Amino acid sequence: MNESDVKRDMVKSVKESGGYARRIEDQYGVGVYDLILIPLGLPVFLTEVKMIRGPAFGPTPRQYVELENVRHAASHSGHAIPLLIGFRNGVYYFSELALTVDPRDCFSVTTTDVNFHDQLVKFYYSRRK
C-alpha cells in the first residue's frame, strides 16, 4: 500500500462515518499538509500523513511551520488540531505536532479490526485526559 492509497482509505473511512474529509495536498505547494479531517461532531484535524520507512517520521520543515501556525491560532479553542499520522504495516500512528516522531511514542490501535475513523476518534478522546 502506498501513501496515496492510505490517504484515500482515510478519507473514505471518515466520509462513510458521516464526517467530512478532503485531500488538499499539492506537490508544488511548499508546506501544504495532506488532509482535512472532520469526524462528525469533533474538531477539524489538519493532517500530514507519512509512510514510516525508518525509526521515525515527521513533517518537512515547512509543513511543521504551517501546522505550528494552526496550533498557535487554535490553541485556546481546540477547534482545529494539527495532526501527524504515520503509517506502517497496516498500523496508523497518531502524534501531536513535532519535528520528529518515534512511533513508539504515538497513540496507535494495533488491530486492523478498528477502522481509521474510529481510531481517529479514540485518539481525540485519549488526548483530552
Structural domains in the chain, CATH included, are 3-126 (3.40.1350.10)
The conformational region for residue 41 under phi > 0 = left, psi -120 to 50 = alpha, else beta, is: left
Could you tell me the three cell numbers for 10? Answer: 482515510
Helix (H) or strand (E) holding 93: strand 91-95
Per-residue model confidence (pLDDT) at position 129: 63
Q: What is the pLDDT of residues 29-88, one digit of tens each?
A: 778 899 999 999 999 999 999 999 999 999 999 999 999 999 999 988 889 999 999 999
Look at the block and give the residue holding cell 475513523.
Answer: 117
Residues 26, 41: Cα–Cα separation, whole Å: 27
Q: What is the pLDDT of residues 112-123, one digit of tens each?
A: 789 999 999 999
> Is the separation of the CB atoms in 38 and 14 below 8 Å?
yes
Per-residue model confidence (pLDDT) at position 90: 92
Could you tell me the three cell numbers for 26? Answer: 499539492
Residue 113 gets which letter from DSSP? T
Place 20 in a pLDDT band, splitting at 50, 70 and 90.
very high
pTM above 0.85, yes or no: yes
Beta bridge partner(s), residue 94:
85, 107
Give me the percent of the chain exceeding a pLDDT of 90: 83
Q: What is the pLDDT of residues 102-111, one digit of tens each?
A: 999 999 987 7
Work out whether strand 80-88 and strand 91-95 pair parallel, antiparallel, or are unpaired: antiparallel
Which SS3 state, helix, strand or coil, does residue 14 take?
helix
Residue 97 has pLDDT above 80, yes or no: yes
The amino acid present at 129, given as its one-letter code, is: K
